[in-house]
């Protein structure tokens, strides 16, 4: 089953051979007098993700995308650990014929990663064991209460017509080698999670949001 891993829009050079997703819960078991134990059901907890990635030091023919140096991936892991920001973790799974099976698409934080350099087992390559945790945005809410105002006497208004000659031009983007919708949305829309908007505008050209090709001209949301 072909599949690809993305960390913050970066395609992993070699697809990990295994992935663990631990779906936690927050249920609580309590004991009632004369009734025994009961299970109080609560909302699901945060999902934990773990996998082992291989960072190649040589250019293997099976490396995904454009080959990059080990330093590139090591710097990326360190940045995700230290910048105190959540990012997107995506795994796309397709059949050998290119049909999309299902995706894992989570907002996560980098909990920790371990580097393993073993010349006998791995040669010049580096292995990294990565642990992620699902991230849910939160914050305080501010409520502003406005005093009611007296209704104003309605006035006649003129109907304005729009001059179509000044309408904004439709924005397009030509896909480059190594692009993915997440990176395009992050660069041109300011938010990678808006990749679904690009996909919805271009369903006539894109059958699978995880499979785009160099040379495709995509319409971008305004």
Cβ atoms 205, 218 nearer than 8 A:
yes
Q: What is the CATH number of the domain that holds 185?
A: 3.10.350.10
For tokens 């995904």, the residue is 64
Q: Which of 105-114, 117-126, 142-151, 190-199 is predicted with the least confidence, judged by mean pLDDT? A: 142-151
> How many other CB atoms are found less than 10 A from the CB of residue 132?
23
- Given a contact cutoff of 8 angstroms between Cβ atoms, the answer to whether 106 and 134 are in contact is yes
Are 116 and 206 part of one and the same domain? Answer: no
C-alpha span between 176 and 187 (Å, rounded):
13
DSSP H helical segments within the chain, as ranges? Answer: 70-82, 119-122, 181-188, 195-201
Q: Does residue 104 lie within any of the structural domains?
A: yes
Cα(150)–Cα(146) distance, rounded to whole angstroms?
13
Residues 1 and 102 occupy one common structural domain: yes
For residue 98, the model assigns a pLDDT of 76
Task: Report whether pLDDT(130) > 90.
Answer: yes
* In contact, 184 and 173? CB cutoff 8 Å: yes
Total domain count, the chain: 2
Mean pLDDT of the chain: 86
The CB density around residue 147, as the number of other CB atoms within 10 Å, is: 4
Structural domain harbouring 59: 1-26+41-136
Work out the pLDDT band at 122, boundaries 50, 70, 90: confident
131 within 8 A of 115, measured Cβ to Cβ: no
> How does pLDDT run across 12-36, given as a tens digit for each residue?
999 998 999 998 988 999 998 887 8
SS3 content of the chain, % helix, strand, coil (to 5): 15, 30, 50
Residues 74 and 118 in one domain: yes
Number of H helices, E strands in the chain: 4, 11
Answer yes or no: are the C-beta atoms of 190 and 212 closer than 8 Å.
no
| CATH number of the domain within which 81 lies | 2.30.110
Average pLDDT in the 46-74 region? 91
Q: Terminal CA-to-CA distance of the chain, rounded, Å? A: 36
Whether the per-residue pLDDT at 151 is higher than 70: the answer is: no
Q: How far apart are CA 88 and CA 73, in angstroms?
A: 16
Q: Are residues 102 and 61 in the same domain?
A: yes
Q: What is the mean pLDDT of residues 130-151?
A: 81
Q: Which of the four pLDDT bands, split at 50, 70 and 90, describes residue 55?
A: very high
Residue 132 pLDDT: 96
Quick one: tokens of 208? 């699978």
In this prediction, residue 143 carries a pLDDT of 78
The DSSP secondary-structure symbol of 127 reads: E
Q: Both tokens of residue 195?
A: 């990749």
Are residue 106 and residue 173 in the same domain, yes or no?
Answer: no
pLDDT at 139: 77
Percent of the chain with pLDDT over 70: 90
């Amino acid at each position: 089953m072909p599949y690809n891993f993305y960390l913050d829009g970066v395609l992993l050079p070699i697809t990990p051979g295994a992935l663990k997703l631990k779906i936690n819960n927050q249920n609580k078991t309590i004991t009632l007098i004369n009734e025994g134990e009961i299970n109080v059901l609560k909302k699901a907890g945060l999902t934990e993700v773990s996998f082992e990635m291989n960072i190649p030091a040589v250019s293997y023919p099976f490396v995904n995308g454009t080959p990059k140096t080990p330093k590139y991936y090591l710097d990326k892991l360190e940045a995700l650990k230290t910048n105190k920001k959540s990012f997107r973790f995506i795994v796309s799974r397709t059949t050998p014929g290119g049909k999309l099976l299902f995706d894992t698409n989570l907002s996560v934080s980098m909990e920790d990663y371990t580097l393993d350099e073993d010349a006998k087992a791995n040669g010049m390559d580096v292995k990294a064991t990565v642990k992620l945790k699902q991230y849910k945005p939160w914050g305080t809410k501010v409520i502003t209460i406005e005093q009611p105002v007296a209704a104003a006497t309605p006035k006649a208004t003129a109907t304005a017509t729009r001059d179509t000659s000044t309408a904004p031009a439709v924005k397009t983007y030509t896909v480059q080698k190594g692009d993915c919708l997440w990176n395009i949305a992050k660069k041109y829309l300011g938010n990678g999670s808006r990749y679904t908007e690009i996909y919805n505008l271009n369903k006539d050209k894109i059958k699978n949001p995880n499979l785009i090709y160099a040379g495709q001209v995509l319409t971008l949301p305004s």
